[in-house]
Structure 1
Amino acid sequence: MRYAVPAAALAAVLAVTASVGQGNDHVTDPRAAALVAQGRANLAAGELEKAVDAFEAALTIDPAATPIFLNLAEAARLNGLQGKAIRYYRLALEREPDNLAALSGEGAALVEKGAVEKARRNLAKLQSICGDRCAETAELAAAIAKGPQQRVLTAEAVMPDAVVTQQN
């Protein structure tokens, strides 16, 4: 009788942990999957804003789908918004810390932003997970080898300051 209460508590803990392990198998809502497919098609066509709209709509339908964050990050990178892309990659990594695509994508966005040392940390993590044989490791290593992108200067950025002189 004195073991009944601890046994019941242990059974409850095991039941909860067993159900948590089953919870990682997320099934994407079909409506969200259709919007993601539409967004991917928009990305391929170069229609970045329409792609972002489709991905965001998919995220409202299925906020638990990690791949949608990866698609939003890719669209942000193509738009030149590396900071926003890094934020989306980190949201994906909060859900799945060993997501190879998120680690590689975040690393590439960090390189594009100029944070090469942080990108090397992502590369080291990728190498510890899958070694040098996976595509994500090779992609990030190539991005690091290429280095940060050169910033494009606009005419306004290189204009000298106006100096007003008084004529006598």
Structure 2
Amino acid sequence: MTLTGETPKLIKAFAVLMFLASPMVATNALAMGSSDTWSSDGTDLSAVSELVDTGMYDMAIDKVENMLKDDPDNADLYNYLAYSQRKLGDFDSAAQNYERALMINPEHLGALEYQGELFLQTGKPEMARENLARLAQVCGTDCDEYKELSGKITN
């Protein structure tokens, strides 16, 4: 059987909705680096992570914005928000929210990596290299975030 038209999108949306309704939680956030958990200071990030991992960035943005009302000092939430905005091409908002994440936690590995990717996308390779140097200081040259950003800078 071959799926055509809107059917794959509906199946994908149904799968995400089933995940959100399910009490089961997976163990790793794919799009956000090497996180060992989907919790951040008591905030469950699994639903946001699933939306981001499946490319449902608009829905992820809505979810994060609602979560920020209860947890306005969560660097992970700002990182997810910025990541989703960047993926949708809203570079100005993404830049502001990476900055917010890094103001809360200057050593946030994901925000440093993804802000560096934003710098590359917006023609600021020297700033991306600064983020790479910061990652080297914070986690060394063997951490996933350093390797990812380094690979994108050299390409």
Q: Confirm or deny a common fold (TM above 0.5).
A: yes
Identify the residue that residue 103 of structure 2 maps to in structure 1: 94
Q: Contact 2:48 / 2:60 at 8 angstroms: preserved in 1? A: yes
Q: Deviations over 1:20-54 (max 9, x none)?
A: xxxxxx7334xxx2xx4323222233322111100
Q: How many residues align?
A: 116
Q: Equivalents in 1 of 2:140, 2:49: separation in Å?
A: 29
Q: Which runs of 5+ in 1 are unaligned?
A: 1-25, 147-168
Change in Cα spacing, 1:130 to 1:40, as seen in structure 2 (3 Å) is closer
CA distance in 1, matches of 2:137, 2:149: 14
Which is greater in Rg? 1
C-alpha separation between the residues in 1 aligned to 2:117 and 2:143?
15
1:125 aligns with 2:120: no
Name the Cα RMSD after superposition.
1.6
**Contact kept in structure 1, 2:82 and 2:93, CA below 8 Å:** yes
State the Cα deviation string for residues 87-106 of structure 1 (Å, max 9, x = none). Answer: 11111111111111111111
Residue equivalent to 1:72? 81
TM-score by structure 2 length?
A: 0.68
Q: Is the Cα–Cα contact under 8 Å of residues 89 and 106 in structure 1 kept in the other structure?
A: yes
Do the aligned residues in 2 keep the contact of 1:55 with 1:71 (CA within 8 Å)?
Answer: yes
How high is the TM-score relative to the length of structure 1? 0.63
Q: How does 1:135-154 map to 2 (within 5 A)?
A: 135-146=144-155
1:114 maps to what in 2? 123
Structure with greater helix share of residues: 1
Aligned pairs for 1:4-19 (under 5 A) are none
Q: Which residue of 112, 120, 132 corresponds with 1:103?
A: 112
